[in-house]
Structure 1
């Protein structure tokens, strides 16, 4: 069994000794490396992540956590350098099977963190869609699905009719690596889907064709990623929301961030999004906390002196 991760991990001690004896690093440098790696160990330990299961996305989540704590970019860059040095040493010594920090750079800042939409913006966007046409019914159901389930765009374009279970109020999504998961179908989503699947919606788009995909284009064919982008473009314009701020992936981020802000358990959100590692989901916690702080600063009468 791999030893548990703690700040007095002997694998850190051997690395610091190597830096001192073999590399001749100064005392101040050694202390900085120790501080940086200890911070990582203290973060990994409670999350049950051992070194041989550590992956790049875990390290990215940790660096985003550092930023959420208010560390400067120079401090984050130094921490990344410390982590990479330690993991490279462990891989070279055969202590771990692979080096998960090999491709990690400080520039990974917020690569997975586009700014989520506000809850009021989501409501404005959805409320602005007219459902007097088949395309309007489709677009509302599509955006309700993106926001309501946190689905990836690849999961939406491959969604089939049999993946919708209205009796149990569940949607079956086919995620990365062909892994299936079931996600709840909220009342707003269920209502939008039923309206779209009625004779006024999807049937009008399908015509005499045969197609098992849920979402169709105007010609009755399967919708594409590019088609979804165009829908989001149009609906953002109609709702007067900056198009550069919105994408299918932003709906996924917004779903996770809003759920965590309202008290959802992080492991439930992990299941919903289909994340293999909970560390990836913890990125959204940092976003939710940042939003909470901003709202507090704006609203609380004693937030400022």
Structure 2
């Protein structure tokens, strides 16, 4: 049974749900904010009277309790979202968590993210403007499909099959492959590929041949570059304390590792990621010989998308 939270928190969660946040992301927000409001209640601090030092103290409380830096960073994302929601709604004068520093996470922790770290990263994209729609789709596709950054920026409309939940003809030559598209990724793409999403970046005249078919555009209306995609990943990683070594390739390896950990057969993951050999895939995690299931059964964000 879900524990009721203060009305302000439930309103935020409802708003995030309406914006298409996944059940996993909403559950993470709920856990983080239940801890936060409980901390405030124990100290007699009303939610609408929270100040920046109170937020700092809360993060210190989490560290003293032994929470990992990534967990503290995720909690701060949730707290920021709550106070931003209250400020935007006119119920508080500002966001007391807006300038609180994000805990730094040791570089060696970034080769593969935990599922909680991925949820925090995906939850760091706030708002529903054009940039937020694009960036949310980019992060969902990178992690949800395990794409190389070159494959992401090279996506064209011919590769998309949102109705079937697939990305088709990825790669080159004889190693072309089809990749499942999880529900959250498909939904994020559908929202991005609207007149108020990608359409807002569409120029009067295309500067280069092929840009008109590009799935992801930059603000000038050109196909997004590899450097642009790296910058987007780094930007949101920085928001949750993961920027030191977070790259698109880390999301790719995290996708593989999480599937393997949940029981996917290494050969299925090999085919999905386009790896040259099972040994390459298995290097993402040592104990992979037990794995048997495929994407829909094993990817953390493989919820089925509604047909579009």
Q: TM-score, normalised by structure 1?
A: 0.54
Distance 1:207 1:134 in 2: 14
Instruction: Kindly state the Cα deviation for residue 224 of structure 1 after the two structures are TM-superposed.
Output: 0.6
**Residue 257 (structure 2) aligns with:** 257
SS of structure 1 residue aligned to 2:142 = helix
Per-residue CA distance 1:51-80 (angstroms, 9 max, x = gap) = xxxxxxxxxxxxxxxxxxxxxxxxxxxxxx
Distance 1:249 1:130 in 2: 23
Distance 2:277 2:110 in 1: 19
SS of structure 1 residue aligned to 2:177 = strand
**Residue 155 (structure 2) aligns with:** 159
Over 3 Å counting, the alpha-carbon distance change for 1:247 and 1:263 in structure 2 is same
Distance 1:195 1:133 in 2: 11
Are the counterparts in 2 of residues 155 and 173 from structure 1 also a CA contact under 8 Å? no
Which structure has the greater CA radius of gyration? 1
Distance 1:120 1:248 in 2: 17
Task: Map 1:28-107 to 2 at 5 A.
Answer: none
**Residue 212 (structure 1) aligns with:** 213
Q: What RMSD in Å do the two structures reach over aligned CA positions?
A: 2.0
**Aligned partner of 1:134 among 130, 134, 139:** 130
Distance 1:194 1:131 in 2: 16
Determine if the alignment matches structure 1 residue 236 to structure 2 residue 237: yes
Distance 1:147 1:140 in 2: 11
**Residue 284 (structure 2) aligns with:** 284
Q: Which runs of 5+ in 1 are unaligned?
A: 1-112, 290-305
Per-residue CA distance 1:204-246 (angstroms, 9 max, x = gap) = 01142441110100111011111011111211122x2231221
Instruction: Kindly state the Cα deviation for residue 287 of structure 1 after the two structures are TM-superposed.
Output: 7.4
Are the counterparts in 2 of residues 145 and 151 from structure 1 also a CA contact under 8 Å? yes
**Residue 293 (structure 1) aligns with:** none
Distance 2:169 2:285 in 1: 23
Are the counterparts in 1 of residues 266 and 288 from structure 2 also a CA contact under 8 Å? no
Q: TM-score, normalised by structure 2?
A: 0.54
Instruction: Kindly state the Cα deviation for residue 185 of structure 1 after the two structures are TM-superposed.
Output: 0.8
Instruction: Kindly state the Cα deviation for residue 118 of structure 1 after the two structures are TM-superposed.
Output: 1.0
Distance 2:229 2:287 in 1: 25
Instruction: Kindly state the Cα deviation for residue 177 of structure 1 after the two structures are TM-superposed.
Output: 4.9
Per-residue CA distance 1:264-302 (angstroms, 9 max, x = gap) = 11111011101121111111231779xxxxxxxxxxxxx
**Residue 200 (structure 1) aligns with:** 196
Instruction: Kindly state the Cα deviation for residue 173 of structure 1 after the two structures are TM-superposed.
Output: 4.7
**Residue 139 (structure 2) aligns with:** 143
Distance 1:205 1:185 in 2: 24
**Residue 62 (structure 1) aligns with:** none
Instruction: Kindly state the Cα deviation for residue 199 of structure 1 after the two structures are TM-superposed.
Output: 1.5
Are the counterparts in 2 of residues 157 and 215 from structure 1 also a CA contact under 8 Å? yes
Q: Give the stretch that moved more between structures: 123-132 or 264-273.
A: 123-132
Distance 1:177 1:287 in 2: 31
Corresponding pairs, count: 176
Determine if the alignment matches structure 1 residue 227 to structure 2 residue 228: yes
Are the counterparts in 2 of residues 150 and 252 from structure 1 also a CA contact under 8 Å? yes
Are the counterparts in 1 of residues 170 and 178 from structure 2 also a CA contact under 8 Å? no
Per-residue CA distance 1:136-182 (angstroms, 9 max, x = gap) = 10001011110001111111111101210012110025325573210
